[in-house]
């Protein structure tokens, strides 16, 4: 016994006419007739008296209709309650992101969302999770992050390239390099402070130096770009970091290097097979549209 068979029965009971009922249900007459016959077989009795082309609800049918109406009424109320909850309750969405996106990118994304949809400020609450990429992946796979902004595409999920993050080569503001026009090979004898090996960012940096056929003198390796910038600010060397992180440091200079247009990909990912409220779905659609705007 299925909900469909109960709904078909209720409709036929109201019309007591096979053709009219099937048209109302937008199904064929044989489909309706077969469904009702299977329902009657399951109950062990006929629900309609049939004579020639006439069909009439019998006593068993009338008794059964009372329970069907009650059941479908309760179900419809449950559906309405769920839809009201989805449309009016506060939803929570956990956004995970790498450190360099926390300063400008994520605040601008959420601010733009609320500005475009002010009514959502009371319906959608954001929880921010800023971690190293490997930790973010782990949290995401455990279901503790709803949307992930990271540096690699995640297979089997809704995952796509969102934007590309600009990188800059930086030095202390008083460095002799800060006021010169340079080529990358001019940095061959400089001391570098770089992100740890094994990271996506380090891979991009290493590939950059491979193209000019030299490996930099690496004095320090660190796991955190903000710490790297602090060391550059103290004059320990130069580095390559996301541009978004630099502006708050007063003693940092972005070096003028010819044809230095290095970017790293930023992907957005979310789970396709999990329940989402209407508010969360709305935000995901906003992300897709926001991608088009910032990448024009």
pLDDT on residue 87: 57
Domains, in order of start, for the chain:
3-88 (1.10.10.10), 92-296 (3.40.190.290)
Q: What is the pTM of this model?
A: 0.66
Q: How far, CA to CA in Å, does 13 sit from each of 47, 76, 77, 147? A: 9, 19, 22, 48
* pLDDT tens column, 171-223: 999 999 998 999 998 999 999 999 999 888 999 999 999 988 888 999 999 98
pLDDT on residue 78: 80
* pLDDT tens column, 245-279: 887 788 999 999 998 999 999 999 998 766 667 78
List of the chain residues with pLDDT < 70? 81, 83-89, 273-276, 296
Q: How far, CA to CA in Å, does 77 sit from each of 13, 14, 122? A: 22, 21, 25
């Amino acid at each position: 016994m299925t909900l469909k068979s109960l709904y078909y029965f209720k409709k036929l009971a109201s019309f007591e006419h096979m053709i009219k009922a099937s048209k109302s249900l937008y199904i064929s007459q044989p489909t309706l007739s077969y469904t009702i016959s299977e329902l009657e077989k399951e109950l062990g009795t006929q629900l309609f008296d049939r004579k020639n082309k006439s069909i009439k609800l019998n006593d068993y049918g009338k008794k059964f209709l009372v329970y069907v109406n009650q059941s479908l009424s309760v179900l419809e109320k449950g559906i309405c309650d769920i839809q009201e909850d989805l449309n009016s309750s506060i939803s929570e969405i956990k956004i995970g992101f790498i450190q360099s996106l926390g300063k400008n990118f994520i605040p601008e994304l959420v601010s733009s969302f609320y500005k475009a949809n002010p009514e959502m400020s009371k319906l959608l609450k954001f929880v921010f999770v800023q971690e190293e990429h490997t930790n973010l992946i782990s949290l995401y796979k455990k279901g503790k992050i709803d949307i992930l902004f990271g540096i690699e595409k995640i297979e089997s999920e809704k995952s796509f390239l969102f934007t590309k993050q600009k990188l800059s080569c930086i030095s202390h503001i008083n460095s002799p390099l800060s006021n010169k026009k340079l080529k990358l090979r001019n940095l061959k004898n400089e001391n570098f402070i770089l992100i740890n090996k094994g990271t996506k960012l380090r891979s991009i940096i290493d590939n950059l130096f491979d193209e000019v056929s030299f490996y930099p003198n690496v004095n320090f390796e660190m796991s955190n770009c903000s710490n790297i910038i602090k060391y550059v600010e103290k004059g320990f060397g130069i580095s390559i970091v996301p541009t978004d992180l630099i502006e708050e440091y007063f003693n940092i200079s972005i070096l003028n290097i010819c044809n230095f247009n290095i970017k790293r990909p930023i992907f957005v990912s979310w789970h396709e097979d999990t329940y989402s409220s209407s508010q969360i779905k709305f935000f995901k659609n906003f992300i897709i549209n926001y991608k088009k705007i910032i990448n024009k």
